[in-house]
A and B are shown apart, each in its own frame.
Chain A
Amino acid sequence: MSDAATYNFGYLDEQTKRMIRRALLKAMAIPGYQVPFASREMPMPYGWGTGGVQVTASVLGADDTLKVIDQGADDTTNAVSIRKFFERTAGIATTTHTSEATVIQTRHRIPEAPLREGQILVYQVPIPEPLRFLEPRETETRRLHALEDYGLMQVKLYEDIARHGHIATTYAYPVKVDGRYIMDPSPTPKFDNPKMDMCPAIQLFGAGREKRIYALPPYTKVVSLDFEDHPFERTKFDRGCALCGSEGIYLDEVVTDDRGGRMFVCSDTDFCESQRAAPSEAGHGLHEVPR
C-alpha cells in the first residue's frame, strides 16, 4: 500500500464492525433469530447487497480470500463491483474458486461445490421476515416468532397447493431452523435449501435496508416446511448443462438469439469452468454432484 490516505480496512470503521460482530455473535447464539443492528449507509444503493457487504466487512481479516457471486456467477455486475470494492478497501486476495475462498458473499445461490469447515457464506437479504406478506405488522410478526405461532406460514403453503396443485414457492422457501425459528433463507432457489442443512460452513445473513442480521452456525438442522402429503421437493432439471454436461445442478436459461434459441447452463460459473477444465477427473464429463 502507498502512503496516500486510504480507507479503513474493509471500509467500515472499527466501532461499526465491532457493533456488527456483536450482532453476529448474538445471531449465531440463537440460530434463525433476526437480530436488529444499526445498519450503515454504504456507497451503493439498497438492494445491491448493503447488508451482505457490511457483514463481509466485519468478518474479513487480512489473510482472508474473498469470493463474490451473483446468482452463482462470478462475472456479473454485482459480483464484480463488490469484489473490487473489497480489493480496494481491504486489499485482500480474491478468487473465483469456491474451494480457495474463506469468505463467500452471495446473492441468492449456494455454490455447487460442497462447503467446508472454516468457510463463511454471507447472504445478501432483501426481506428477512418470512411472515412479512402474511402479516404486515412488524410488532405482530415478532410476537409470532417469540410465541412460535407459525400456523400462518403453513397457511401460505396451503394456499399454494389450493391454487396450483403443488407448493409453487420456488425461492425464499421458508425453513425451520434447529426446531425453533422460521427463517427466510433469502431468495435462494429452493434447490439450495437442502445444502443449508447441517452445512459445515458458517452461514451469515445480512439485510441492510431492513437492519437485520441472522445466522446459521455450522451443522445446524434446517428443515424446509411442507405437508405430509405434499413433501418438500427439490427443483429437478430434465437435462444437463449445455457447456459442461453436469447433471443434478442448478441451471440458468440463457437466450441466445431473437428466434427462440436458448440454452441451459450451470448457474455456478466456477463449477462449470472447473468441470470443463478437468472432465477426465470425474469420468465422462457427466457428474452427479454431492449435495
Chain B
Amino acid sequence: MSAQDDRPLLVAEGLSKHYGPHLGCADVSLDIHEGEVVAVVGESGSGKSTLLGLLSTQLLPSAGSVRYRMRDGEERDLFALGEAERRFLLRTDWGFVHQDARLGLRMGVSAGGNVGERLMATGWRHYGRIRAEAEQWLERVEIARDRIDDRPDTFSGGMRQRLQIAKNMVTRPRLIFMDEPTGGLDVSVQARLLDLIRSFVGDYGLAAVIVTHDLAVARLLSHRIVVMRHGRVIETGLTDQVLDDPREPYTQLLVASILQA
C-alpha cells in the first residue's frame, strides 16, 4: 500500500441528483482514501445505486462535484474531464463490478478475451503476453487455467463474479465500485467471493465502494459505512461502531431487523 499521500483518493461534495420531480439522492459528501473500503447500505430506493452512479461518473449530478486524485497526483474534477479521459480512467484506474455479470462481461467472448480486453484497450499487442497475464489473473480469482477459452455463459454465478473481478483487476486499479457483488449467490459462494475481495483489498491496496443491502457483507468487508435513507446520508462512521452501536432510529431498526435472522 502506498501511504505516502494522505490526501483522499476521491472527494465528493454536495452531490444531488433529481430524476424530474423525484429525488435520487441529496447533498451527499464523502471522502474515500487509498486502501479503504466504504460500504453504502440502505433499503431499496434509498439512493445507494444513484450515489454509486454519480461517484463513478455514469450519471451526471444535478448539483455537487466529485474530485479524484489521478495516478500522477493531480486532483481533477471528474465532471470536467473529457469523455476520452473519463473512459480511460474507467478502464485503467477504476473497476466496476455489477450485480448482473452480464453487464460487466462480454458473454460471447472467452474468459481470456474478457480479462485481456482492458490490456488490449491500453495498447497491449502481444498475444502470448496478454494470455499469460489473463491466466495469472484467472488463477488469482480461483478459476482453473483450462477454462480460459470457455465463454462466461458456461460459468456458474460465482465464477462469473470472480471473472468480473479479474477483468477489472488486470490493470491494477486503485478504486473499484461494486453494486451488490454478492447478490443472488448462495451463502458459501458469497463467503468465497468476500474472501477474495478482502484479500485483494489487502494485497493491492485497493479502495472500494460497495453498495449492498446486506449488513453482513458490509461488516465483513468495509472499514467505514454510510447509511442512506430517502436519498440522504443519515449516519456514517466506522463499520463496527455503526453496526454495534447505531445512533439513528432507522439504523437501529435496520440492524435489529437483520440480526434477528
Contact = CB atoms under 8 A, between A and B. Distances in A.
Contacts, number: 55
A152 B91 CA distance: 13
Nearest to B86: A147
Given A159-B113, A162-B113, A154 B83 contact: no
Contacts of B148: 162
Contact of B113 (A158, A226, A228): A158
B110 A161 contact: no
A278 B116 CA distance: 53
Interface string A72-86: 000000000000000
A151 B127 contact: no
B126 A228 contact: yes
Given A162-B112, A162-B113, A163-B149, A154 B125 contact: yes
A229 interface: yes
Given A147-B83, A149-B87, A162-B149, A155 B120 contact: yes
B28 interface: no
A46 interface: no
B87 A230 contact: no
Given A159-B113, A162-B113, A229 B128 contact: yes
Contacts of A151: 91, 117-118, 120-122
B127 A161 contact: yes
A265 B122 CA distance: 44
A150 B109 CA distance: 16
B126 A227 contact: yes
A158 B130 contact: yes
A149 B121 contact: yes
Contacts of B109: 155, 159
Interface in A133-181: 143, 147-152, 154-155, 158-159, 161-163
Contacts of A162: 110, 112-113, 131, 148-149
Which of A161, A163, A226 lies at the interface centre, i.e. has the most chain B CB atoms within 10 A of its CB?
A161
A227 B127 contact: yes
Contacts of A155: 106, 109, 113, 116-117, 120
A150 B128 CA distance: 19
A230 B131 CA distance: 13
B172 to A, nearest CB: 17
B112 to A, nearest CB: 6
Interface in B123-152: 125-128, 130-131, 148-149
Contacts of B127: 158, 161, 227-230
A265 to B, nearest CB: 35
A150 B125 CA distance: 12
Contact of B112 (A152, A158, A227): A158
A230 B128 CA distance: 9
Contacts of B91: 151
B120 A158 contact: yes
B84 interface: yes
A168 to B, nearest CB: 13
Contacts of B149: 162-163
A147 B116 contact: no
Contacts of B83: 143, 147
B84 A228 contact: no
B111 to A, nearest CB: 10
Given A155-B116, A155-B117, A229 B126 contact: yes
A51 B91 CA distance: 37
A151 B149 CA distance: 18
A163 B108 CA distance: 13
Contacts of A159: 109-110, 113
Interface string B83-97: 110010001000000
A62 to B, nearest CB: 47
Given A147-B83, A147-B87, A227 B125 contact: yes
Nearest to A163: B149
A45 to B, nearest CB: 30
Interface in A190-231: 226-230
Contacts of B130: 158
Interface of A: 143, 147-152, 154-155, 158-159, 161-163, 226-230
Interface of B: 83-84, 87, 91, 106, 109-110, 112-113, 116-118, 120-122, 125-128, 130-131, 148-149
24 contacts: A147-B83, A147-B84, A151-B118, A151-B120, A154-B120, A154-B125, A155-B106, A155-B109, A155-B113, A155-B117, A158-B120, A158-B127, A158-B130, A159-B109, A159-B110, A162-B148, A162-B149, A163-B110, A226-B125, A227-B125, A227-B126, A227-B127, A228-B126, A229-B127
